[in-house]
Structure 1
């Protein structure tokens, strides 16, 4: 059984539950899957979803194109609003700068090339005429 203080927050908490409460993942099962795949490192080591999390732990989270390096500031039983979730951790300045650089690179990339699909009968005739003239 977990020991609780006056505010009913535990001193230790499961990693997958905390990642869900801190809003890094939409569901607890997605958080557990990310941990199993090695996208989450706690204090520099790979861990399992049931690993006990303690205030002060350093964590590296690879989510999509972004990599977060965070320090656990608080533990929570419940998933709350985004403002509450941001109070559970602090991100290192270096990590924040790296994410901004990656975001700029993604914005600078050209978007996907969309076509109209198959050419219409009229378009096919134009293509055939063009090929005949070459």
Structure 2
């Protein structure tokens, strides 16, 4: 089975074209070697997939006939990702909660309240209130 099709079948990518593009960009390795999307994958191969700034390591147990349900994914792959990589995911969650890129639209209601509180504090310090 092709590596892009396999990654789509085991739900690492939402569409097969996204999986193909990841292979072309060098984000997928089979047994340590960069691969093209057409590379065949066999049982016992080790895959390294870079997705969302995290390097996932997978061991192929079996090849599915077609895309499988989320509950059946563990029959076909064994996730051997190191603990450090999974901790990166937790840190990314926290960093995204407190950071907004400039120009990403209107402030949320929470952002607006924080801005109002910040301006109120400045006025109180100046004594102009």
TM-score if structure 1 supplies the norm length?
0.70
Q: State which drifts further: 98-107 or 27-36.
A: 98-107
In structure 2, the residue corresponding to 1:69 is in which secondary structure? strand
Deviation at 1:87, TM superposition (A): 1.5
Tell me if 1:79 matches 2:77: no
Tell me if 1:104 matches 2:90: yes
Task: Return the alpha-carbon distance in structure 1 between the equivalents of residues 29 and 96 of structure 2.
Answer: 33
The structure with the largest helix share of the pair is 2
Moved over 4 A (4+): none
Q: State which drifts further: 97-106 or 13-22.
A: 97-106
Deviation at 1:84, TM superposition (A): 1.1
Tell me if 1:50 matches 2:35: no
Tell me if 1:31 matches 2:31: no
Cα separation, partners in 2 of 1:107 and 1:16, compared to 1, 3 Å:
closer
Cα separation, partners in 2 of 1:108 and 1:21, compared to 1, 3 Å:
same
Task: Return the alpha-carbon distance in structure 1 between the equivalents of residues 33 and 87 of structure 2.
Answer: 26
Cα separation, partners in 2 of 1:77 and 1:102, compared to 1, 3 Å:
same
Tell me if 1:17 matches 2:5: yes
Higher Rg: 1
Cα separation, partners in 2 of 1:49 and 1:107, compared to 1, 3 Å:
closer
Tell me if 1:91 matches 2:98: no
Task: Return the alpha-carbon distance in structure 2 between the equivalents of residues 69 and 109 of structure 1.
Answer: 24
Task: Return the alpha-carbon distance in structure 2 between the equivalents of residues 14 and 53 of structure 1.
Answer: 6
Cα separation, partners in 2 of 1:85 and 1:109, compared to 1, 3 Å:
same
In structure 2, the residue corresponding to 1:75 is in which secondary structure? coil
Question: 5+ residue gaps in structure 1?
Answer: 1-12, 120-126
TM-score if structure 2 supplies the norm length?
0.73
